[in-house]
Amino acid sequence: MNDAHWINQPPQLPSNKRRARSLAAQLVSFVIVLAVAGSAGFLGGQYSQDENTSSGGPLVTAPPVSEVSVGASSIAKAANVIAPSVVTVDSVSDSGQSVGSGVILSSDGEILTNNHVIEGASTVRVRLGGETEPRIADVLGTDPGNDLGLIKLRKATGLTAATLADPLSILVGDQVVAVGYALDLDGGPSVTSGIVSALNRTLTVENGALNALIQTDAAISSGNSGGPLINMSGQVIGINTAVARGDSSTAANNIGFAISVGEVLRIVPVLRKQASGSSRSEGYLGVGLSDRSDGGQGALVSQIAPDSPAEKAGLRVDDIVLEVNDQPITGQGSLIAIVRDAIPGDEITISVLRKGARLVLTAKLVVRKGN
């Protein structure tokens, strides 16, 4: 499959490099072609009268536009709802400077973004829509495995919090809008539209695996990381995180991914607990995995760790894991993510295919130690 790339990185850089704020890295080249008509035209909404009529009459002009206006389309209305809740997130670390987007979750300044936007940051700055000066934010908690991070502004009040959609309301084919500060361009956030192309996608990335992703064909660019994917009511259905790019042997067009609101609702409380000093432990099963090569779905067990929950549950090498807790396993990435996000001590049910027979096993997870 095509590689997934963090979307706050410039296209020409590897996905594991953060953007340096050198002049060359900041500039984006555009070729702007001005359409200059051969005849006398008019700017500012005016147009000339029919050439067969007298030129001495009044010019026809558009009515005045109010200072604050919202387009008539459903896309414009949805974007207008979310606009006050979308911010620019700028972080500084030893490896350089990274710019992405974020979504306001509370009126007192809680903001959700991607972990890779703020990873290793010594300073995090946030600029609200309509403001010229950045504000300082503190990192409350991060979850690299799920690529989410929670930050909070200092002394903020009266902010407009985004509304999170019901996860069960999201369907393939629904129209969606991606909002964020693409390419860190001047001015307000960029707005692009598309549909929900697929649900429950899984990507294997450098920190493990991202599961339960929403795939969309709405254009997503560098700088959109951490920004919202919304429905036509302006409710957040996901957090934009990665795009797929083609290579010499494959092609990828308009394939972007967002962390689903279902994952957001599950992870944000955990991030809030980190702010009070609570650490999160990941689940551990004790298997080595590979993807099936016979065209089937599921994850192939290639190794069993001695004295692990997997061994005690009766899993064997060459078992094909089809489901965990009734959740379909589409590949090794989805199994990795489900086990990682489980709480140590939980018992999970594992449906496996063994030599043509389907079996259901039970494993009690323990705490993952190290990597």
Which residue from 61, 65, 119 is spatially nearest to 89, judged by alpha carbons? Answer: 119
Identify the weakest region by mean pLDDT among 23-27, 182-186, 291-295.
23-27
Give dist(CA 2, CA 273) in Å, integer. Answer: 35
Contact 240, 228 (CB under 8 A): yes
**Average pLDDT of the chain?**
81
Instruction: Return the closest-CA partner of residue 313 out of 285, 283, 339, 343.
Output: 285
Q: Does the active-site annotation cover 166?
A: no
The whole-number pLDDT of residue 67 equals 58
Q: Phi and psi for 353 in degrees, rounded to 5?
A: -110, 120
Q: Give the residue, 9 or 188, on which the prediction is more confident.
A: 188
Residue range 112-130: average pLDDT? 93
CA dihedral sign, ordered 178, 179, 185, 187: positive
8 Å CB contact between 305 and 285: no
User: 316 Cβ partners below 8 Å, 6+ apart?
Assistant: 301, 304, 354
Q: What is the mean pLDDT of residues 166-176?
A: 96
Judge whether residue 117 has pLDDT over 50. yes
pLDDT in tens, 218-260: 998 888 899 999 999 999 999 999 888 777 777 778 889 999 9
Q: Give pLDDT tens digits for 142-154.
A: 988 899 999 999 9
| pLDDT exceeds 50 at position 51 | no
Six token digits for residue 231: 């429905």
Cα–Cα distances (Å) from 115 to 43, 69, 140, 305, 359, in that order, read: 45, 34, 11, 30, 38
Return the percent helix, strand and coil in the chain, to nearest 5.
15, 35, 50
- Min mean pLDDT across 48-52, 276-280, 353-357 is at 48-52
- pLDDT category at 25 given cuts 50, 70, 90 is very low
CB atoms within 10 A of CB 67: 5
What are the residue ranges spanned by the domains of the chain? 1-9+71-280, 283-367
**Which entry of 5, 98, 116, 341 is annotated as an active-site residue?**
116
Asked if residue 15 has pLDDT above 50, the reply is no
- Asked if pLDDT for residue 2 goes beyond 80, the answer is no
Architecture label for domain 283-367: Roll (2.30)
| List 225, 308, 334, 351, catalytic entry | 225
Q: Quick check: helix, strand or coil at residue 334?
A: helix
pLDDT of 56 > 70? The answer is no
**pLDDT at 136 exceeding the cut of 80:** yes
**pLDDT number for residue 310:** 94
Q: Where residue 6 falls among pLDDT bands split at 50, 70, 90?
A: low
249 flagged as catalytic = no
Residue 72 predicted with pLDDT over 70: yes
Give the per-residue pLDDT at 140. 94
103-112, 123-132, 207-216: lowest mean pLDDT where?
A: 207-216
Q: What residues form DSSP beta bridges with 284?
A: 366
In angstroms, rounded to a whole number, what is the distance separating the alpha carbons of residues 88 and 84? 12
Please give the residue that has the higher pLDDT: either 108 or 207: 108
For tokens 């036509």, the residue is: 232
φ, ψ dihedrals at 26, nearest 5°:
-85, -30
Q: What class does CATH assign to 1-9+71-280?
A: mainly beta
DSSP letters of 73-101? Answer: SHHHHHHHHHGGGEEEEEEEETTEEEEEE
The residue with greater pLDDT, 69 or 331, is 331
Q: Which residue has the higher pLDDT, 6 or 209?
A: 209
Topology match between the domains 1-9+71-280 and 283-367: no
Q: What is the pLDDT of residue 85?
A: 95
DSSP-assigned states of every residue in 105-145:
-STT-EEEE-HHHHTT-SEEEEE-TT-SS-EEEEEEEEEGG
pLDDT of residue 8: 52
Is residue 57 scored above 70 in pLDDT?
no
Reported pTM: 0.74
pLDDT value for 221: 82
pLDDT of res. 112: 97
pLDDT of residue 58: 74
Whether residue 5 lies in the annotated active site: no
